A = this chain, B = another copy of it.
Amino acid sequence: MLAYLAGPDVFLPDAPAHAARKSAICAAHGITALPPLNEDVASLAAMGEEEAWRTIFAKDVAMMERADLVIANLTPFRGASADAGTLVELGWFLGRGRPIFGYSNTATPFAARSAALLARMPDPMPGLTVGGFGLPDNLMIPGAVETGGHPILLPEGGRDLPFDSLEVFERCVALAAKALARVA
């Protein structure tokens, strides 16, 4: 079982080591991790900007094609919502109808995060509204994740965890392994 590990983890300063920790957790649950590391493109530094980003895009899409499921880190990143690239990938798995599992290290609901962001960066025009619905993010995100049969996993006790915590990820991997064993 091959799991694409979507998330802003690729932007961590120690991304390859972090991916190795995630892969080890997956392996302990019988899942082979596919972490989309930019470091996998050996010649990236020698490329121009345009060749570099196109190479990364093609590599990531090819990796998604190989994957049986996605485990998405939906921790908010540089805005009220989850990381932009992660969301495109989440939609890709939704479009393909492949199993989706997701988690976040932030317990703060979407509506509260949006309000905090707006206090620092007001909208470009007044009157823009987004329904919070008591959800952890824009409704398309829990909607996509719940097609996998489970809600977005959140930190226990309602407290935000460090951005790079693997606590909720580990619960998510265990959930995915159990859910897919049931199907198989």
> Nearest CB to that of A160 among chain B residues?
B124
Of B53, B61, B121, B141, which is within 8 A of A84 by CB? B141
In the complex, what distance in Å separates the CA atom of A131 from the CA atom of B79? 17
Secondary structure dominating the interface of A? helix
Q: How many copies does the complex hold?
A: 2
Asked if A143 and B79 sit within 8 Å, CB to CB, the answer is no
A64 smallest CB distance to B (angstroms) = 8
- Given A11-B129, A84-B137, verify A163-B124 contact (CB < 8 Å): yes
The digit string for A46-64, where 1 denotes a CB below 8 A from any CB of B, is 0001101110111011000
Task: Kindly state whether residue A40 has any CB partner on chain B within 8 Å.
Answer: no
Task: Kindly state whether residue A139 has any CB partner on chain B within 8 Å.
Answer: yes
- Chain B residues, CB < 8 A from A58: 143
Task: Kindly state whether residue A158 has any CB partner on chain B within 8 Å.
Answer: no
- Some 19 contacts from A to B, beta carbons below 8 A apart, are A11-B129, A13-B126, A13-B129, A52-B131, A52-B133, A53-B142, A78-B81, A84-B87, A84-B140, A88-B91, A88-B94, A88-B138, A88-B140, A88-B144, A92-B94, A92-B95, A93-B95, A94-B95, A124-B162
Query: Can you name 6 extra interface pairs (CB under 8 A) apart from A61-B143, A124-B162?
Result: A57-B143, A84-B137, A85-B138, A88-B88, A91-B92, A95-B96
Query: What are the 6 tightest A-B residue pairs by CB atom distance, in nearest-first order?
Result: A79-B79, A91-B91, A95-B95, A57-B143, A13-B127, A81-B84
